[in-house]
């Protein structure tokens, strides 16, 4: 370590450490540098881990099933590394007293197991509720803003159960569409959203969430599209089924239409 520190080289090693692709020589070099500059390098490692976390987070479209955490906590309970202290029963106890003690131990053990199991479930439920609360707060914040508008959609046909809503705020340039029971479009076709201005339909973009059925989709509106909502001649929104999702005029049937709240 007599050579001057090459910061870029050390950052490169830290990145290699986090993605776990260091050669044995690099790993040894990094171990030595880490021992010399623990505070600086631990910060760098933590930042790079946060980046890796965000990368995986962005690529992940599923949530672990809710039963997984309670199952994990139960399994962890059975594999605790703590040493178990075994007390010798006094030999002077007679057999009846030993029997009663054993029954008590079993009864207390079962109660304790149930208590721990319930506690694990409560922790998991608490976490789920906290996450949902955080997400609901975000939508609530949007709803509290004066410029926010909310539209609901109903299926144009009585046999179709599709419904949805759009919440949008022109100041924050945010528009979110929530859909329910909207079947995937047939192959080669797409759902397209239109604003109705002066009885004419104006293109607002294709609706393409990651999943169909019940889902949400952040609408990539242009500033002009946001302005259309405040046009005095604006009278609503429709969703049509189109073969050309970029066409400037609708040719397909109306699937859903809006009413403003």
Partner 1 sequence: MESNSSPFHLPDYSSATDEALFEALKQQHSSALSILFHRHGRLVYGLALKILANQQEAEDLTQEIFLSLWRNAAKNPECRYFVRYLVTMTKSRAIDKLRARHRHLKLVERWGQSMTTEASPDPNPLEQATLTERSQRLRIALEQLSEKQRQVIEMAYDQGCSQSEIAQRLEIPLGTVKTNTRQGLLKLKQILLDPNTLAL
| Contact footprint for partner 1 (CB under 8 A) | 11-12, 15-21, 45-66, 68-69, 71-73, 75-77, 79-82, 116, 119-120, 123-124, 127, 130, 132, 135-136, 138-139, 176, 178, 209-211, 213-218
User: What phi and psi values does residue 176 have, to the nearest 5 degrees?
Assistant: -120, 130
What is the C-alpha separation between 207 and 79, in angstroms, rounded? Answer: 49
Q: How far is the CB of 103 from partner 1 (least distance, A)?
A: 23
Walk across the sheet containing 213-218 and list its strands. Answer: 200-207, 190-197, 234-242, 254-260, 149-155, 163-169, 174-182, 213-218
Q: How far is the CB of 161 from partner 1 (least distance, A)?
A: 16
Q: How far is the CB of 195 from partner 1 (least distance, A)?
A: 22
3-state helix, strand, coil split of the chain in percent (to 5) is 45, 25, 35
What is the C-alpha separation between 217 and 209, in angstroms, rounded? Answer: 5
Residue 43 or 147: the one with the smaller Cβ distance to partner 1 is: 43
For 177, the 3-state DSSP assignment is strand
Q: How far is the CB of 173 from partner 1 (least distance, A)?
A: 9
Tokens of 96: 């009846």
C-beta of residue 34 within 8 angstroms of C-beta of residue 14 = no
Q: How far is the CB of 66 from partner 1 (least distance, A)?
A: 8
Residue 134 or 188: the one with the smaller Cβ distance to partner 1 is: 134
Q: How far is the CB of 16 from partner 1 (least distance, A)?
A: 5
List Cβ neighbours of 212 (8 Å cut-off, separation of 6 or more): 179, 182, 183, 184
Contacts 24+ apart (CB under 8 A), 76-79: 77/116
Residue 68 or 102: the one with the smaller Cβ distance to partner 1 is: 68
Residue 218 or 233: the one with the smaller Cβ distance to partner 1 is: 218
C-beta of residue 228 within 8 angstroms of C-beta of residue 202 = yes
For 30, the 3-state DSSP assignment is helix
Residue 16 or 250: the one with the smaller Cβ distance to partner 1 is: 16
Q: How far is the CB of 99 from partner 1 (least distance, A)?
A: 27
Residue 167 or 202: the one with the smaller Cβ distance to partner 1 is: 167
Q: Which residue has the tokens 């397909």?
A: 252
Q: Which residue has the tokens 């010399």?
A: 36
Residue 57 or 224: the one with the smaller Cβ distance to partner 1 is: 57
């Amino acid at each position: 370590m007599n050579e001057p520190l090459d910061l870029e080289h050390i950052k490169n090693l830290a990145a290699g450490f986090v993605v776990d692709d260091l050669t044995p020589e690099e790993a040894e070099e990094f171990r030595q540098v880490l021992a010399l500059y623990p505070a600086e390098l631990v910060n760098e490692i933590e930042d790079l881990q946060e980046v890796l976390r965000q990368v995986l987070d962005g690529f992940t479209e599923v949530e672990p099933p809710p039963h997984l955490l309670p199952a994990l906590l139960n399994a962890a309970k059975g594999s605790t590394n703590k040493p178990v202290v075994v007390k010798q029963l006094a030999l002077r106890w007679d057999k009846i007293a030993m029997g009663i003690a054993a029954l008590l131990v079993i009864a207390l053990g079962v109660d304790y197991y149930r208590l721990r199991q319930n506690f694990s479930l409560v922790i998991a439920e608490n976490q789920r509720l906290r996450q949902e609360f955080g997400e609901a707060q975000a939508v609530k914040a949007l709803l509290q803003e004066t410029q926010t508008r909310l539209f609901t959609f109903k299926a144009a046909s009585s046999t179709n159960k599709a419904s949805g809503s759009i919440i949008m705020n022109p100041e924050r340039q945010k528009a979110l569409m929530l859909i329910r029971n909207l079947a995937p479009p047939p192959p080669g076709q797409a759902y397209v959203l239109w604003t109705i201005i002066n009885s004419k339909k104006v293109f607002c973009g294709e609706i393409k969430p990651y999943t169909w059925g019940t889902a949400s989709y952040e609408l990539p509106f242009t500033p002009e599209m946001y302005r259309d909502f405040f046009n005095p001649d604006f009278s609503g929104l429709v969703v049509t089924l189109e073969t050309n999702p970029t066409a400037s005029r609708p040719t397909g049937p109306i699937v859903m239409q809006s009413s403003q709240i």
